[in-house]
């Protein structure tokens, strides 16, 4: 079987590629990347070794697609992945749409030509911001908790945000490129008869992640804390009580392989949330305490700055992925944090290289 991985030199693409080659000997990999992301060059040699064909190619460019050999499946891991991308001070909105949406449209034309199935790595950021910002929450000692004694919007339960939750705008420019990509992929699959699966991932984290304050927050926090860099709690009144779930991309890879093996099985869901769920979730404040124990104390300043699209509680309910795909994550948040911590000790300059 031939599998094309786009964005193969990024954090998720490189982890999925390594995992597939480690557990399957019947797969030939094709990989492409345009090295947009600072640090992705560091994964190039590995990608060249793992792939039968590796291409320095830009998904926005129709000509580049003419050089991509046919594949049976595509795993789409290429994107500008920050929720702030394309907004004031965070790069060009046109480029965001080019990489995240035009790139997907070119990819879908490729799938149509080669009858390849596609798996989109999408995001929790497709979910509607206003109802998420208005969720009833209460404060425990170190985090927000959902207040289930109050009326909850459709698609929210104590397990988290389900696939039925609204994706109405606003979802951020980034979220909009991903919702639009999802819609177009599902339509292309229907119109041209190739299988499509959409995996809406929560926060992904692990060693080797390119991390900044606005993207890759678990890695950014652990690396910064270890190096005793200044850290601030932004939003949520400077408490650090905002909560995110956490998942390792190797667990995503294991799900993706199940989806590829299922082919076009129509009993399986097209769109699934993929996350570590509530048990994996941590607040920034909890993350600081973990780092304090691991590296020694380091003070974090509170800040009253309010940043666009900051949300207090994003936890994906992944029960559909667990029941439909008989999948569950193997790597706990503790394991992921320890993996990042060990990597940070070996790579003290990682944030400079990758931010």
Ligand X SMILES: NC(=O)c1ccc[n+]([C@@H]2O[C@H](COP(=O)([O-])OP(=O)(O)OC[C@H]3O[C@@H](n4cnc5c(N)ncnc54)[C@H](O)[C@@H]3O)[C@@H](O)[C@H]2O)c1
Count of residues engaged in binding ligand X, rule: CB under 6 A: 30
Tokens of 286: 């909890």
Regarding 4 and contact with ligand X (CB under 6 A), the answer is: no
195, 4 contact by CB (below 8 A): no
Which residues from 109-148 bind ligand X, rule CB under 6 A? 121, 123
One residue of 4, 10, 128, 316 binding ligand X per CB under 6 A? 10
CB of 149 to ligand X, least distance (A): 30
Regarding 340 and contact with ligand X (CB under 6 A), the answer is: no
CB of 231 to ligand X, least distance (A): 19
Q: Which is nearer to ligand X, 46 or 139 (CB)?
A: 46
One residue of 9, 47, 101, 257 binding ligand X per CB under 6 A? 9
Q: Site map for ligand X, 80-99, x if CB under 6 A?
A: -x-----------------x
Stretch touching ligand X by CB under 6 A, among 30-38, 131-139, 153-161, 254-262: 30-38
E strands, the chain, are 2-6, 28-33, 53-56, 73-76, 117-123, 137-139, 144-146, 156-157, 160-161, 196-201, 232-233, 243-244, 271-274, 282-283, 301-302, 313-314
Count Cβ atoms below 10 Å from residue 334 Cβ, excluding itself. 12
Instruction: Name the residue number minimizing CB distance to ligand X.
Output: 10
66, 39 contact by CB (below 8 A): no
Regarding 254 and contact with ligand X (CB under 6 A), the answer is: no
Judged by DSSP in three states, 56 sits in strand
For 273-299, b where at least 16 C-beta lie within 10 A, e where not — what string? bbbbbbebbbbbbbbbebbeebbeebe
Binding footprint of ligand X on the chain (CB under 6 A): 6-7, 9-13, 32-37, 40, 58-60, 77-79, 81, 99, 103, 121, 123, 201, 203-204, 210, 216
């Amino acid at each position: 079987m031939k599998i094309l991985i786009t964005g193969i030199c990024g954090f998720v693409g490189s982890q999925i590629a390594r995992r597939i080659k480690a557990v399957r000997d019947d797969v030939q990999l094709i990989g492409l990347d345009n090295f947009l992301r600072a640090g992705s060059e560091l994964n190039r040699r590995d990608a060249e070794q793992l792939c039968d064909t590796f291409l320095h190619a830009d998904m926005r460019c129709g000509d580049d697609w003419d050089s991509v050999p046919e594949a049976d499946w595509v795993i789409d891991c290429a994107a500008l992945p920050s929720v702030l991308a394309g907004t004031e001070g965070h790069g060009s909105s046109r480029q965001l749409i080019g990489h995240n949406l035009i790139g997907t449209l070119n990819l879908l034309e490729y799938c149509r030509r080669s009858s390849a199935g596609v798996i989109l790595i999408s995001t929790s950021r497709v979910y509607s911001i206003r109802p998420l910002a208005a969720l009833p929450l209460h404060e425990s000692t170190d985090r927000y908790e959902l207040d289930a004694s109050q009326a909850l919007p459709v698609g929210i339960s104590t397990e988290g945000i389900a696939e039925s939750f609204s994706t109405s705008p606003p979802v951020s420019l980034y979220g909009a490129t991903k919702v639009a990509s999802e819609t177009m992929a599902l339509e292309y699959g229907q119109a041209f008869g190739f299988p499509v699966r959409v995996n809406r991932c929560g926060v992904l984290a692990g060693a080797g992640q390119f991390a900044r304050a606005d993207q890759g927050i678990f890695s950014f926090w652990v690396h910064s804390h270890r190096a005793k860099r200044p850290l601030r709690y932004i939003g949520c009144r400077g408490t650090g009580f905002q909560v995110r779930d956490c998942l390792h991309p190797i667990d995503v890879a294991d799900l993706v392989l199940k989806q590829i093996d299922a082919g076009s099985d129509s009993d399986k869901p097209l769109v699934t949330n993929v996350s570590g769920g509530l048990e994996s979730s941590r607040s920034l404040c909890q993350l600081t305490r973990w780092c304090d124990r691991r590296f020694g104390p380091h003070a974090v300043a509170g800040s009253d700055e309010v940043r666009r699209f900051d949300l207090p509680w994003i936890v994906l309910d992944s029960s559909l992925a667990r029941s439909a795909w008989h999948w569950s994550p193997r790597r706990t948040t503790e394991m992921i944090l320890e993996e990042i911590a060990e990597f940070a000790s070996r790579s003290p300059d990682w944030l400079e290289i990758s931010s």
